[in-house]
Amino acid sequence: SHAEGQGLDAFAAGMILLGGGGSLVMTNSMPLAFIVLPKHIPLVMTLCNCLFDASAVMFLLLYRVYAAGVERRTMFVAYALLCAAVHIALSLAWCGPPAARLREAKAAEPPLHGLPLKRQLCSFEFAFAVIFLSLQQFRSNTYLGTNKEVLEKLGDASTGYFYTQAFSASLPASLVCVPLISRCLRDRGFADTFLLTSILGILWNGVALVQSLPAQLVSFAAFTNFRAFLYSAYFTFVAHSFGSRTSASVSGVIGVFSGSLNFMIWPCTELSQQVGGLSSLYWALLLLSLPPLVLSGLLKRRLQRLPSSDCRVAAALNNNSRNKNNSNNNNDNDNDNNNNDNDNNNDNNNEKESNSDRNRT
């Protein structure tokens, strides 16, 4: 009430701070992947992004906590303390082995690592990430914002909004796909993973145009996996391509472009209502899925020329390097054993000669 008396909209200011802080938390958390071994980076990035999708259920949990009598101020303070503890833990986690692992990974270092940020922003990888994420995120967020209205027009109200609830419940289900996404990145690489992401995007978009409520369950499943693959592949690609020093900055710049495009969701939705309903908007979204397909093909050709830029090749190189080191260690152990055997044989021979000399005497 004091803020209102001073002419300050505390709610708007709080929402802006929460939105900006949330984006900073997500961006600054990207270096987390560099703490683990290079072969585990796709798994860590996939798990982080699937947990991000699963966080949609937190609204219901916080509402239950609030309904139990806990004040909002208490919840926000607890959240701030949790964020502080996590960031301190992230800083401490870099001490020791992670720095050594980064030095170990330099053998398979992609060509953009270590370059100035300006040169990285002029690369094909940056252009690919900007266009791919901006278009796919625009399509994804448009569907998230209009899905309920589409389901209502298909008669979801007569089912007690079963399909709307099913859609909300399907978003956290992407956690089940963590092993699949991680294996796809590790075994198939970036090009095939981004191609699969584009195909899933076409699938959910195409089924969403079908005038049938039961068919929308297929769209829900495809959309959930589409989002999980999209953000997991994107953040892994940025982390692997640009390195630990600038990946957060690059991701922030890309976020400015993709976020600016999201401002067009509302006017596009309003325009579609005047032209032919949301179906016309969904047809436009389907057309927007074609450029990412072309980009996936261009990325495949790029990675064929620069194999070290692919997470699949980098993981294989790291495994080969580790196997080589293990083999060298085993050879050293074998040599040591052989030397010990030779020493023992020499000692035995010397002892026999000494005994023989004594017998002659």
Burial class (CB in 10 A: 0-12, 13-18, 19+), 124: middle
At 356, which amino acid appears?
S
pLDDT tier at 38, thresholds 50, 70, 90: low
Residue 324 lies in a domain: no
Residue 337 lies in a domain: no
Out of 103-107, 131-135, 161-165, which region has the weakest mean confidence (pLDDT)? 103-107
Residue 191 lies in a domain: yes
pLDDT tens per residue across span 308-359: 888 876 555 555 545 555 555 555 555 555 555 555 555 555 555 555 554 4
Q: Distance (Å, rounded) from C-alpha 250 to C-alpha 125?
A: 11
Residue 341 lies in a domain: no
Q: Report which of residues 279 and 94 the model is more confident about.
A: 279
Q: Distance (Å, rounded) from C-alpha 17 to C-alpha 151?
A: 33
pLDDT tens per residue across span 103-119: 555 545 678 888 899 99
At 200, which amino acid appears?
L
Residue 359 lies in a domain: no
Task: Name the token pair of 205.
Answer: 């978009």
Whether 163 and 213 have beta carbons less than 8 Å apart is answered as: yes
Instruction: Write the CB contacts of 212 (distance below 8 Å, at least 6 apart in sequence).
Output: 154
pLDDT of residue 152: 92
Task: Name the token pair of 295.
Answer: 């980009």
Q: Report which of residues 128 and 320 the model is more confident about.
A: 128
pLDDT of residue 58: 76
Q: Report which of residues 147 and 112 the model is more confident about.
A: 147
Residue 334 lies in a domain: no
pLDDT of residue 50: 73
**Proportion of the chain above pLDDT 70, given as a percent:** 75
What range defines the domain where residue 28 resides?
Answer: 23-316
What distance lies between CA 77 and its chain's CA centroid? 28
Residue 335 lies in a domain: no
Burial class (CB in 10 A: 0-12, 13-18, 19+), 221: middle
Q: How far is CA 314 from CA 43, 115, 181, 264, 276, in A?
A: 14, 19, 17, 38, 49
pLDDT tier at 17, thresholds 50, 70, 90: confident
What distance lies between CA 236 and its chain's CA centroid? 5
The CATH number of the domain where 106 resides is what? 1.20.1250.20
| pLDDT, mean of residues 221-225 | 93
On the question of pLDDT at 216 being above 70, the answer is yes
Domain count, the chain: 1
pLDDT of residue 2: 46
Helix (H, G, I), strand (E, B) or coil at 248: helix
What distance lies between CA 295 and its chain's CA centroid? 19
Residue 183 lies in a domain: yes
